[in-house]
Amino acid sequence: MKTWQQWAYHGCRLGLGGLFLYAGLLKADDVPAFAGQIAAYRLLPYQVNYLLAATLPYVEILAGGLLLANRHIRPASLLLAAMTLVFIVALLSVIARGFEIDCGCFGPHDSSTPQQALLRDLGLLVLAHFTFHLRNQCVARKGV
């Protein structure tokens, strides 16, 4: 019988992995539009926006896929947590400067406000934290 930690671990791992896999696939589908959404933040030079738009979705797909496959959990969850922290800083910057832009979190058709995206990202950070830390407890208790 699974303990509550094992259920929580698998729920966090599958939720986080599925969300990032889905978000990455949506962004990879329209890289130029995603580059435009990154440019709206006005944080990076123009050329860097396209480089980021061309690579970030595939990093999200890879890390999300690793979590779904239950492989390399700690590195994948740590990578997603670090990326989420960067997203949170970018969103706080946009909110502080008073920009009303679409966050770009789920591709070009996402119409989330920066405030909504910030709340969602804080939740994702919590999921990444629990995925990272519960992995050790579950493995130590009974192989996962």
Helix, strand, coil in percent for the chain, rounding step 5: 75, 0, 25
The whole-number pLDDT of residue 142 equals 57
Domain count along the chain = 1
The whole-number pLDDT of residue 141 equals 59
Reading the block at residue 103, the tokens are: 């966050």
The whole-number pLDDT of residue 133 equals 85
Q: What is the pTM of this model?
A: 0.89
The Cα 55–Cα 126 span in angstroms is 24
Domain range for 45 is: 4-141
Which helix (H) or strand (E) covers residue 131, if one does?
A: helix 114-141
The Cα 40–Cα 102 span in angstroms is 8
User: CA 34, 43, 77 angle in degrees (round to 5)?
Assistant: 65
pLDDT tens for the chain, residues 1 to 144: 478 778 888 899 999 999 999 999 999 999 999 999 999 999 999 899 999 999 999 999 999 999 999 999 999 999 999 999 999 999 999 999 999 898 888 877 777 889 999 999 999 999 999 898 877 766 655 555
The Cα 98–Cα 81 span in angstroms is 25
